[in-house]
Amino acid sequence: MASLVQVENLEKRFGEVRALDRVSFAIDAGEWIAIMGPSGSGKTSLINILGGLDQPTGGRVVVDGQDISRLGERDLTRYRSEKIGFVFQQFHLVPYLTAVENVMLAQYFHSITDEKEAAEALKRVGLGDRLDHVPAQLSGGEQQRVAIARALINHPKLILADEPTGNLDEANEAVILELLRELHASGHTILVVTHSPAIGNLADRRVELEHGRLARIHVPSIAKD
């Protein structure tokens, strides 16, 4: 079976800085990958390219059979709405929209809105009673759960989370972790950037970056690569 994601000789330069330097690896559908590495090692750069937020300066990224390194602005936008679910460290909800409207916003950009379905998605992350609250009325953990509901609403091929627990305390980290675990169990493909060893150990594989280079791929159960 072909991999869902193939990264080949990926390179991203910001002027003199090589944020990514000939990185290659593949992700199978349903896999949970943790991306780890010190600050500045290129984790966010990698996830931005995989999510179609940025374009590589070299190499190739194929996602679901589509070479996204060659897509124009318009196609990348469609790619993001159809294939990707983002979760950010800073939650990034629209402050003047309610929880349910934030989820509906993703539906709106994808195709058509369905308030019931959006409410269902919030119930699944335990926020069934907070539908009409705006982000300012929600705790950090709750905001991140809204973001997860939003990321899932369009049934994306790939969930990309950049330090999703980086701004949360331990209790909330545990809640998010549990949600990720459920997503993985139900067959989602997840890529999480994290500094948390706990998340790293739960993932199927850990991709470790150093100075933009792929340092090692660590498989907790089976030794591979």
Contacting residues toward other proteins, per CB under 8 A: 44, 48, 51, 53-54, 73-74, 77-82, 84, 86, 88, 90, 92, 94-97, 101, 104-110, 112-115, 150
Q: Does 39 bind ligand ATP (CB under 6 A)?
A: yes
Residues near Mg ion (CB under 5 A), total: 1
Nearer to Mg ion, 44 or 154 (CB): 44
Distance of CA 46 to the CA centre of its chain: 11
How does DSSP assign 138-168, residue by residue? Answer: S-HHHHHHHHHHHHHTT--SEEEEESTTTTS
Report the nearest approach of ligand ATP to the CB of residue 38 (Å): 7
Q: In whole angstroms, give the CA distance from residue 194 to residue 130.
A: 28
Identified binder of ligand ATP from the candidate list 33, 43, 103, 106, rule CB under 6 A: 43
Quick one: tokens of 109? Answer: 């950009």
Q: Do residues 96 and 114 make contact, with C-beta atoms less than 8 angstroms apart?
A: no
Q: Does 44 bind Mg ion (CB under 5 A)?
A: yes
Question: Strand, helix or coil at 111?
Answer: coil
Report the nearest approach of ligand ATP to the CB of residue 99 (Å): 27
Binding to ligand ATP (CB under 6 A) within 44-83 occurs at 44-45
* Phi and psi angles of residue 187, each rounded to the nearest 5 degrees, phi first: 100, 5
Q: Does 96 bind ligand ATP (CB under 6 A)?
A: no
Which DSSP symbol is given to 137?
G
Beta-strand runs (E) in the chain: 5-14, 17-27, 32-36, 58-63, 66-67, 84-87, 158-162, 190-193, 205-210, 213-218
Nearer to ligand ATP, 3 or 89 (CB): 89
Q: Which does 184 bind (CB under 5 to 8 A by kind): Mg ion, other proteins, ligand ATP, none?
A: none
Report the nearest approach of ligand ATP to the CB of residue 17 (Å): 5
Part of the chain binding Mg ion (CB under 5 A), chosen from 40-48, 61-69, 202-210, 216-224: 40-48
Q: Does 165 bind Mg ion (CB under 5 A)?
A: no
Part of the chain binding ligand ATP (CB under 6 A), chosen from 3-11, 25-33, 34-42, 132-140: 34-42
Q: In whole angstroms, give the CA distance from residue 193 to residue 37.
A: 9
Give CA separation, 40 vs 43, 147, 160, 166, in Å: 7, 25, 18, 15
Query: By the criterion CB under 5 A, which residues form the site for Mg ion?
Result: 44
Query: By the criterion CB under 6 A, which residues form the site for ligand ATP?
Result: 14, 17, 19, 37, 39-45
